[in-house]
Structure 1
Amino acid sequence: MSLLDALNSLDQINWFVSILIGIAISVVGNLITPAAKDLLNKQSEKRINEKIKHLEQVKEEINNYAANPLRLISYVNESLLQMFVLFAFANVLNFIKYFTDPLYLLTQMITVMLYYYAAMIALKTLSTCKKVRDINKQTTLINEEIKKQKSN
């Protein structure tokens, strides 16, 4: 047997092995597909139910604030105090950086995180106030979204 004959027989064996592996992969894929589909459907249903629950909580929250304006004022005041405390800590950290050069980067990172968290509180508070101000529109939008999620 020459070298060329040996290479030709190797080529035929590679095709045969490739076909067997391809068949095995397709059989395994067909067996796994229903289980994967069920898993994805369960996760999708779970996300939809979580979103519906969140929307109902938002609707209840804005209805409570609209029914009791003092609670809304208290919420806004609490948010302002939280932001004030965060800004105070951030400013203290900015002041510390002048005395401790080795901790400069760390204090800057913490300062940025405090400012970011304060901004997120402000945005959430503004969003809640806007929803309470336009409660009829928001309730309608939330109800439509819940219906849409339930129909999917």
Structure 2
Amino acid sequence: MTVLPRTGVGTDIHAWAPEGDPRPLWLGCLEWPGERGIAGHSDGDVAAHAACNALLSAAGLGDLGSVFGTDRPEMAGASGAEMLAHVAGMVQNAGFEIGNVAVQVVARRPRLGPRREEMAAAMSAALGGAPVSVSAATTDGLGFVGRDEGLVGLATALVAPVRA
């Protein structure tokens, strides 16, 4: 039987933290000084979390909630980079190597363009050097993103079986 590469899709959505909440914004494994943070159990990094979901999906290993559930107090405040590194290890232990991850952030802010390459490099480093690409989109004022109530991370991942 021929063993083919596998693809996965992942999403993550978070609301902005309440006004005045001192939580920092973490996005794409980077801190964004001066930006309002995200409400969430961990650091709320929608880009990293979507990438985790895509990798877990591609490798047939479940999803973010089954691995890092909010019922686990030790995951409170966990960083997206730590989560990506953990998932990369799971993918490798399942007999796959990461081909690439593509992440898109759908939000009105922050502007990703000036830090796009830095985001891709930080996420790649967390994944042990696997290629990561980052893109951004808005919703032209539609929906909860358009009303600036939160943001979305979408990702795809390609994993390939390791040849023995």
Per the normalisation by structure 1, the TM-score is 0.21
More strand by share: 2
Q: Which has the higher helix share?
A: 1
TM-score, scaled relative to structure 2: 0.20
User: Which has the bigger relative contact order, CA under 8 A and spacing at least 6?
Assistant: 2
